[in-house]
Structure 1
């Protein structure tokens, strides 16, 4: 379920301190009910994710088109990524976190872990269009349990990046996020009942 931005901005997350120059684009309540100690399961499932096996053929097709365009137009070249076009957000971390574990690396998605705590995990990606952050959090659900919360923060790369984000907004909200939420729920249920 899509949430108001305040569901993210009202909490004292570390991401606010290290990415104040990023714009919050989306906040979602994840269908991942659990206990206080279940956050690592969500982190693992997310890091193992892939766009090519989405249950939605529309989402799979959109991602395939995006990856192909990126390849043809050079949007995803290494020179446009984290550590090249943009410095990593790891450089902005407090010393204690900079020296600690970052979290898992992704198997197939173009993200890199930035930091992980007991209730927060941030990962980043960059290309010719944007520098983006996927922020996962583990929040109380109001009924004595917990659930995941996803926030997407973006720093567009100039006018092209802003136009790109505006162009993909309807696709994200109508065709990508709904099947993604269903998939997260299915995988979560399977993990919790195994």
Structure 2
């Protein structure tokens, strides 16, 4: 379910002190019911994924995006984190810098991981983005994940690009992504239960 930006900004996440100049692009509740200590399972699930969304429309949209990126040079090595933009790890306070970093995956590099937060970043010629996963109580004794997408567009071109793909994200990408995360989470229920009992 899509949520207002305040569902992210009102929580005391550490990411606020690090990505203070990024804007909140999207916030979603993820279909990942669990216990208070289950964020680490979700981090492993996401980072171990193949990166393919199991939906034809979403796959087609990504294929078009990567073709355009290759044609127009949006994803060249000179545009990534550490080249065009500095990593957000440079902004981390000592406790986060010395703590668990978390895994990278696909085009994302992990920034930090705590008991209830995980942040990973990526950049290209259009923007510098952060995927923030927070683990929140659901009000009934359980917990689930909340995903926020934070962006810093690269100038007017980046802002126009983000506006131009908004409908595609809402119609073709996020619904498929959330369904896949939910299916994978259900499949791993036995593993999580065994880990709690161990």
Q: TM-score range by the shorter chain?
A: over 0.9
| Equivalent in the alignment of 1:153 | 150
Q: Does 1:132 align with 2:129?
A: yes
SS at match of 1:97: helix
Equivalences for residues 56-95 of structure 1 within 5 A: 56-95=55-94
What is the alpha-carbon distance in structure 2 between the residues aligned to residue 172 and residue 89 of structure 1?
24
Deviation at 1:161, TM superposition (A): 0.2
Deviation at 1:34, TM superposition (A): 0.2
Aligned-pair CA distance for 1:37:
1.3
Shift of 1:188: 0.3
1:5 equivalent in alignment to 2:2: no
In structure 2, the gaps of 5 or more residues are 192-198
Q: Distance between the aligned counterparts of 2:134 and 2:72, measured in 1?
A: 34
Can you give the 5+ residue segments of structure 1 that lack an aligned partner in the other structure?
none
What is the DSSP-based 3-state SS (H/G/I as helix, E as strand, rest coil) of the residue aligned with 1:148?
A: strand
Aligned residues: 191
For residue 127 of structure 1, report the CA deviation from its aligned partner: 0.4
**Corresponding residue for 1:191?**
188
- Name the CA distance, whole Å, in 2 between partners of 1:97 and 1:180: 28
TM-score, normalised to structure 1, is 0.96
Q: CA deviation at 1:179?
A: 1.1
The residue number in structure 2 matching 1:43 is: 43
Q: Which residue of 2 aligns with 1:31?
A: 31
1:125 Cα deviation from its structure 2 partner: 0.2
Q: Supply the distance in 2 between the matched residues of 1:148 and 1:120 (Cα, whole angstroms).
A: 9
Q: Look up the SS of the partner of 2:160 in the other structure.
A: helix
Residue 96 of structure 1: CA displacement?
Answer: 1.9
SS of structure 2 residue aligned to 1:181: helix
Looking at structure 2, the residues matched to 99 and 35 of structure 1 have their Cα atoms a distance apart, in angstroms, of: 26
In structure 1, what is the Cα distance between the partners aligned to 2:76 and 2:50?
Answer: 19
Write the distance in 2 (CA, Å) between the matches of 1:55 and 1:5. 27
Alpha-carbon distance between aligned partners in 1 of 2:50 and 2:25, rounded to the nearest angstrom: 21
Alignment RMSD, CA only?
Answer: 1.0
Deviation of 1:49 after TM superposition, in Å, equals 2.8
Q: CA deviation at 1:46?
A: 1.2
In structure 2, distance between residues paired with 1:50 and 1:21:
31
State the alpha-carbon separation in 2 of the partners of residues 49 and 124 from structure 1. 17
